[in-house]
């Protein structure tokens, strides 16, 4: 009885609102994914508020504190130029998350549209597009990204690393296209698509308004999964000296060049940026996996 009275104390509308909150239901059903989401939110917060959170200017050179070990002043130590590693990691989160998100968004959206279009038209269009996708899929991700870098060059376009975003997004396109196409094929068979065609809507209208919204679940899953891949790829390219360039703080860049000369003197230069990359990728993978289980248990990537 006592249980029912406590239930009655909450107005029914509020209680329903509380229960139907999608965020809360996600946290309860997928605690691991929620943990991943929490890490992502903390990183995003640090990235947005980097100027306030970071103890030092990430580009400030301090020759009095070169290669300083982690201490109270510099919690994660300093690099060969005396720059504070914690501050560089916090500012690096900005680089990693913005490039990771934008390139995954671009790649998945382009790939998704390609996939939906391919599924909608079927027949010859589908055959040709899928053949193209197959061919592009035979480039390993990093190889295609490097070829794009060779094409678009290493100079940021208009102050933004658009060249880098393109290099990361393009290898994602065929992969997203393939997954979204298979989801869209099921949508294509739905009677409402035939109804829309009979209704005389334009192809573009049916594709964008009738088909695309119905593959939103796999699209969101892909988007999260490929942010993880994109962060990893950005770090790799920056590490190779073909991504973000100095003095801009980026995790991959912090591991590049000089840091390898200081294996013995300053292992913290290697340890912490790598941990940041791994943690970010781990968090997005965890969140992406849970999102998949939650949105679409049958869906396999």
Interacting residues toward another protein by CB under 8 A? 131-132, 134-136, 138-143, 146-151, 153, 228, 232, 235-236, 239-242, 252, 255, 260, 263-264, 267, 270-271, 274, 277-279, 281-282, 285-286
Q: Which is nearer to another protein, 92 or 210 (CB)?
A: 92
Question: For another protein, which is the closer residue by CB, 177 or 286?
Answer: 286
Classify residue 235 by burial, with Cβ atoms within 10 Å: 0-12, 13-18, 19+: buried
The smaller minimum CB distance to another protein, of residues 131 and 205, is found at: 131
User: Minimum CB separation from another protein for residue 285, in Å?
Assistant: 6
In residues, how long is the chain? 301
Taking the complex as a whole, the smallest distance from the CB of residue 182 to another protein amounts, in Å, to: 17
Nearer to another protein, 39 or 208 (CB): 39
Task: In whole angstroms, give the CA distance from residue 239 to residue 210.
Answer: 43
CB of 271 to another protein, least distance (A): 8
For another protein, give the closer residue by CB, 84 or 234. 234
Backbone angles phi, psi at 127, to 5 degrees: -60, -45
Residue 47: which of 5, 100, 11 has the closest Cα?
Answer: 100
Are 172 and 104 in contact, with CB atoms under 8 Å apart?
Answer: yes
> Toward another protein, which CB reaches closer, 114 or 255?
255
Check: CB of residue 70 under 8 Å from CB of residue 267. Answer: no
How far apart are CB 261 and another protein at their closest, in Å? 11
Quote the least distance from Cβ 205 to another protein, whole Å. Answer: 31
Return the number of the residue (145 or 215) whose C-beta is nearest another protein.
145
CB of 243 to another protein, least distance (A): 11
Tell me if the bond preceding 247 is cis, omega within 30° of 0. Answer: yes
For the bound state, the minimum distance from the C-beta of residue 16 to another protein, rounded and expressed in Å, comes to 33
Q: How far apart are CA 274 and CA 15, in angstroms?
A: 44
Closest approach of another protein to the CB of residue 82, in Å: 21
By C-beta, is 10 or 128 nearer to another protein? 128
DSSP code string of 270-291:
HHHHHHHHHHHHHHHHHHHHHH
CA distances from 106 to 83, 109, 120, 183 (A): 33, 5, 21, 19
Checking 159-167 for CB contacts under 8 A at 24+ apart, the result is 161/99, 161/243, 161/244, 164/99, 164/103, 164/234, 164/237, 164/243, 164/244, 165/99, 165/102, 165/103, 165/106, 166/103, 166/106, 167/237
**CA-CA distance, 86 to 176, in Å (whole number)?**
35
């Amino acid at each position: 009885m006592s249980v029912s009275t406590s239930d009655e104390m909450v107005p029914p509308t509020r209680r329903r609102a509380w229960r139907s909150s999608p965020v809360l239901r996600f946290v309860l059903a997928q605690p691991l994914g929620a943990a991943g989401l929490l890490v992502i939110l903390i990183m995003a917060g640090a990235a947005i508020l980097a100027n306030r959170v970071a103890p030092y200017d990430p580009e400030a050179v301090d020759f009095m504190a070169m290669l300083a070990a982690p201490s109270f002043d510099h919690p994660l130590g300093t690099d060969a130029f005396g720059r504070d590693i914690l501050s560089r990691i916090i500012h690096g989160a900005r680089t990693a998350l913005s490039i990771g998100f934008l390139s995954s968004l671009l790649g998945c959206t382009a790939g998704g549209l390609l996939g939906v279009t391919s599924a909608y038209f079927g027949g010859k269009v589908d055959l040709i597009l899928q053949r193209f996708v197959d061919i592009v899929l035979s480039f390993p991700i990093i190889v295609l990204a490097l070829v794009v870098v060779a094409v678009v060059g290493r100079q940021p376009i208009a102050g933004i690393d658009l060249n880098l975003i393109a290099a990361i997004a393009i290898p994602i396109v065929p992969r997203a296209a393939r997954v979204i196409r298979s989801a869209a094929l099921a949508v294509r068979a739905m009677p409402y698509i035939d109804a829309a065609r009979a209704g005389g809507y334009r192809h573009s209208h049916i594709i964008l308004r009738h088909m695309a919204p119905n593959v939103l679940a796999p699209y969101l899953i892909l988007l999260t999964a490929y942010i993880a891949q994109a962060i990893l790829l950005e770090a790799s390219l920056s590490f190779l000296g073909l991504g973000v360039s100095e003095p801009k703080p980026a995790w991959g860049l912090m591991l590049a060049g000089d840091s390898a000369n200081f294996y013995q003197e300053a292992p913290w230069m290697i340890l912490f940026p790598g941990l940041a990359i791994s943690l970010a990728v781990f968090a997005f993978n965890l969140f992406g996996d849970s999102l998949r289980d939650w949105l679409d248990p049958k869906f396999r990537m």
